[in-house]
Amino acid sequence: MAEKFLNLVGGKWVPAKSGEFFENRNPANWEELIGLFPKSGPEDVDAAVGAAKEAFRSWRLVPAPKRAEIIVRAGEILRARKEELARDMTREMGKVIAETRGDVQEAIDCAYFAAGEGRRLYGDTTPSELPDKMALSIRCPIGVAALITPWNFPMAIPSWKAFPALVAGNTIVLKPATETPLSSYHLFRVLEEAGMPPGVVNLVTGGGSSCGQPLAEHRDVGVVSFTGSSAVGKLLAQATGQSLKRLSLELGGKNAQVVMDDADIDLAIEGALWGAFGTTGQRCTATSRLILHRPIAAEFTRRLVAAAGQIAIGNGLDAGVQMGPTVSEKQRQTVHDYVEIGRKEGAKLLLGGASLTEGPHANGWFHQPTIFGDVTPGMRIAQEEIFGPVLSILTVDSFEEAIAVLNDTVYGLSSSIYTRDVNRAMRAIRDIEAGITYINGPTIGAEVHLPFGGVKETGNGHREASHTVLDIFTEWKSVYIDYSGRLQRAQIDNY
C-alpha cells in the first residue's frame, strides 16, 4: 500500500477535507507509485489561509534576524539530507541525480542568502526638507503569501519563494505542482523541524483550478508569487487584477544561444548540449533555439548532432545516464505534437523525433533528443515554448541578424552568445531583450544572488532571487518623525 502524505495546516498534518488523494508516480517507471497526496479544494485552502493569517499576527513581530535563524537551520538540515532529498526528487520528477543534487543545493544557497537579508532588509534614511524632522523608509511584510510552483525545480523554486517571504515577515501557503508534491512535503518537514511556529508555513497539494486558483483569489492572501506557464499566469493576472493584490509572475521562455564565427566552437557545442538537453529540456531557461552564424553553421550542426546522438537516456538514478524522461505523459505528448508541427512546417529533422518505448524505456515517458535544422524565425517551433528535448537551429548572416532573430519572440527570459569579439559581446548585452544574458556560457545556470526573471511575456516586471525578491514580498512604508514640537507644512512653510 502506497504511503499517504498530508497537508500542513496550522501546524498539523491533515488530509484534504474531501478525504481524496491523487497519485504521484515515477516518470521513469510509472509502475512505481511514490505516494498518495491530498486532493485539496477551496475548503482546504481556506483553512490554510486562515491559519497563515492568524500566525501572521505574531510572526510579523518576531525580529527579522530571529526569523532568519530558522531559515539558516533549514538550510543546514537540507545540507545534511541533500542526497536522500535528491534521490526522491529524481524519483518523482525524472531529472538525473546530478541535477537534483543541484536543485537541493539551490535551496540551500537560497536559505543562506535569504537568511542574510534578516540582518539587512535595508531601507533608506534621507534628510527632511523641514528642520527638526527625520525621514526614512522601511520594508514591511505584506501578510499571507500564496506560492504556486511548477514541477521542473521541485525544491529550488518553492525555496526561492518561501525563504525570502518568511524572512521578510510574511506567512505562507504553498501549492506545489501535482507532479512533484513529495519534494515540497520534504521541504515543509524541514521547515517544521527547523522551528517554524505553527501556521507560519502551510502546504496544500492539489490541482491548478481546484486548489491553486482559490488560493490565488482568496481575499486574505496579500501577495501571489507564481511560477509556471504564461497561459496560467495570464489567468491569474486577470483574477488578481480584480482585487489589486500583488502578483509576481515567472513564466515561459523561448531562449536562444547565438554562436558567431569567431566563437570557441568546442565550448559552444558543449554549452548547446547542456542548455538544450539538460533537465530533458524542461527548464524555463532551456536553450530552445540555436542561432548559428552561417560560416560555421554546417560544421557546428554536424558535430552537435553527432554529440547529441550519444546522450545516454534512462532512469536518472542509474550511473552514466545523462538525460531522464519527460515529467509526464502529457509533457511527452506536447513534445511529440511539436515534432509533428516542425515536420509539417518544413523544418528538417536532423536527430531524434520519437518517443523511446522499448527495453529499459518501456515504462517511462522517454523521448529522444531532437534537433531540427532549416528552421525559419516564423515557424511555430521557433516561436512557441516546447519544454522538452527539442532544439531548433536557425542560420543567420550577421551579428545584427542574430540579435534580431533572438529578439523575435514574445518571451524574454534567458539568452546566450558565444563570441571572442568583446565589441560583439558588449553590443549583445546592450541589445538583447531578456532578463538574463550569458556570454560564452549556455542559457542555463542562474545563481541565487542575482535577479531572476524575464521581460515581455516571461513575466510582469518582478525579479526573484537576489535582494530584488524583497520587492515582491514587502511593502514600502515612508516614515516622517517630527521633533520640532510645532506643525510644519511641507512645501509651504519652508518656501
Q: Are 172 and 145 in contact (CB under 8 A)?
A: yes
Query: Per CB under 6 A, which of residues 210..229 are in contact with ligand NAD?
Result: 212-213, 216, 227-229
Beta strands 355-356 and 366-367, pairing class: antiparallel
Q: CB 235 → ligand NAD: shortest distance, Å?
A: 5
For residue 178, the one-letter residue type is T
Nearest one of 288, 258, 265 to 369, comparing CA atoms: 288
b/e per residue, 327-360, with b = 16+ CB within 10 A? bbeebbebbbebbeebeebebeebbbbebbeeee
203 binds ligand NAD (CB under 6 A): no
44 versus 385: smaller Cβ distance to ligand NAD: 385
> What are the backbone dihedrals phi and psi of residue 264, each rounded to the nearest 5 degrees, phi first?
-75, 105
Which residues on adjacent β-strands are paired with residue 356?
366
293 versus 462: smaller Cβ distance to ligand NAD: 462
Distance CA 364, CA 126 (A): 60
**Per-residue contact string for residues 400-429; x = within reach of ligand NAD by CB under 6 A:** -------------x----------------
235 binds ligand NAD (CB under 6 A): yes
Which residue from 56, 185, 188, 387 is in contact with ligand NAD, where contact means CB under 6 A?
A: 387
11 versus 451: smaller Cβ distance to ligand NAD: 451
389 binds ligand NAD (CB under 6 A): no
Q: CB 312 → ligand NAD: shortest distance, Å?
A: 25
Q: Residue 3: count other Cβ atoms within 10 Å of its Cβ.
A: 11
Choosing from 106, 284, 385, 457, the catalytic residue is 284
For residue 25, the one-letter residue type is R
248 binds ligand NAD (CB under 6 A): no
| Residues in binding contact with ligand NAD, number by CB under 6 A | 29
- Which of these segments, 19-27, 204-212, 291-299, 389-397, binds ligand NAD (CB under 6 A)? 204-212
140 versus 239: smaller Cβ distance to ligand NAD: 239
Distance CA 342, CA 347 (A): 5
Query: Per CB under 6 A, which of residues 115..174 are in contact with ligand NAD?
Result: 148-152
89 binds ligand NAD (CB under 6 A): no
11 versus 445: smaller Cβ distance to ligand NAD: 445
Q: Are 30 and 363 in contact (CB under 8 A)?
A: yes
209 binds ligand NAD (CB under 6 A): yes
Which residue from 47, 191, 284, 371 is in contact with ligand NAD, where contact means CB under 6 A?
A: 284
Torsion, Cα 373 375 380 382, to 10 degrees, reads 90
Which residue from 10, 123, 208, 451 is in contact with ligand NAD, where contact means CB under 6 A?
A: 208
169 versus 212: smaller Cβ distance to ligand NAD: 212
177 binds ligand NAD (CB under 6 A): yes
Query: Per CB under 6 A, which of residues 362..381 are in contact with ligand NAD?
Result: none
Residue 211 bears catalytic tag: no
Which residue from 169, 252, 314, 369 is in contact with ligand NAD, where contact means CB under 6 A?
A: 252
Q: CB 471 → ligand NAD: shortest distance, Å?
A: 16
Query: Per CB under 6 A, which of residues 435..474 are in contact with ligand NAD?
Result: 458
- Which of these segments, 7-15, 77-85, 245-253, 485-493, binds ligand NAD (CB under 6 A)? 245-253
Choosing from 250, 385, 457, 464, the catalytic residue is 250
349 binds ligand NAD (CB under 6 A): no
185 binds ligand NAD (CB under 6 A): no
382 binds ligand NAD (CB under 6 A): no
Q: Which residues are catalytic?
A: 250, 284
Binding site for ligand NAD (CB under 6 A): 148-152, 175-178, 208-209, 212-213, 216, 227-229, 232, 235-236, 250-253, 284, 385, 387, 413, 458
